[in-house]
C-alpha cells in the first residue's frame, strides 16, 4: 500500500519540541557534558580568571558585579567557548545513542502524523 499523506517538516519540528523530545535530548546532552567535559571546562575557566586577577589584583577589591564582566570579556577573548563547542560536537553530539534517539523520536512522530500508516 502506498502512503498518500506526506509529513510537513515544520510541523514535525514543532511536534518534536511540543512533545518534549527536544528537551529530553537537551537534558541528555547536558548530563553527558557534565560527566565528560565540564571538569576541563571549569578548570580552563578558573585558569583564565586567575590570570586576570594576577594581571590586575585590584579586581579582587572591586564589586563582583563589576569584576564579572571584565573576566567574562577575558574568557570571550580566548577560544574556550569555541573549543568547548567543538568538543561537544565531536564527543557528545556525534554519539550513536543520541542519533538513534533522534531517529526513533522522528519515526514515532511520522507514524502518528500519518495516522499509523507505515510506508511499504
Cα separation, 58 vs 52, whole angstroms:
10
Is the residue at 1 inside a domain? no
| Count of the separate structural domains present in the chain | 1
Is the residue at 3 inside a domain? no
- Give the confidence band of 5 by pLDDT, cuts at 50, 70, 90: low
Is the residue at 48 inside a domain? yes
Statement: the pTM of the whole predicted model exceeds 0.75? no
- Give the confidence band of 1 by pLDDT, cuts at 50, 70, 90: very low
Q: Per the structure block, which three cell numbers stand in for 92?
A: 557528545
Question: How long a stretch of residues is the chain?
Answer: 120
Is the residue at 27 inside a domain? yes
- CB contact set of 22 (below 8 Å; sequence gap of 6+): 16
Q: Per the structure block, which three cell numbers stand in for 35?
A: 560527566
Is the residue at 118 inside a domain? no
Q: What is the pLDDT of residues 67-105, one digit of tens each?
A: 999 999 999 999 999 999 999 999 888 889 889 988 999
Domain limits at 52? 9-112
Please give the DSSP secondary-structure letter assigned to residue 100.
Answer: H
Is the residue at 117 inside a domain? no
Is the residue at 60 inside a domain? yes
Radius of gyration from C-alpha coordinates of the chain: 22
Is the residue at 106 inside a domain? yes
Cα separation, 22 vs 30, whole angstroms:
12
Amino acid at each position: 500500500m502506498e502512503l498518500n499523506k506526506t509529513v510537513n517538516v515544520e510541523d514535525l519540528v514543532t511536534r518534536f519540541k511540543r512533545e518534549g523530545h527536544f528537551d529530553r535530548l537537551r537534558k541528555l546532552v547536558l548530563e553527558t557534558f557534565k560527566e565528560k567535559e565540564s571538569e576541563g571546562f571549569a578548570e580552563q575557566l578558573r585558569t583564565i580568571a586567575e590570570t586576570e586577577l594576577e594581571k590586575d589584583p585590584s579586581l579582587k577589591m572591586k564589586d563582583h558585579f563589576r569584576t564579572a564582566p571584565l573576566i567574562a570579556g577575558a574568557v570571550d577573548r580566548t577560544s574556550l567557548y569555541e573549543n568547548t563547542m567543538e568538543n561537544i560536537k565531536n564527543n557528545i553530539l556525534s554519539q550513536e545513542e543520541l542519533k538513534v534517539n533522534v531517529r526513533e523520536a522522528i519515526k514515532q512522530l511520522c507514524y502518528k502524523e500519518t495516522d499509523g500508516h507505515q510506508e511499504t
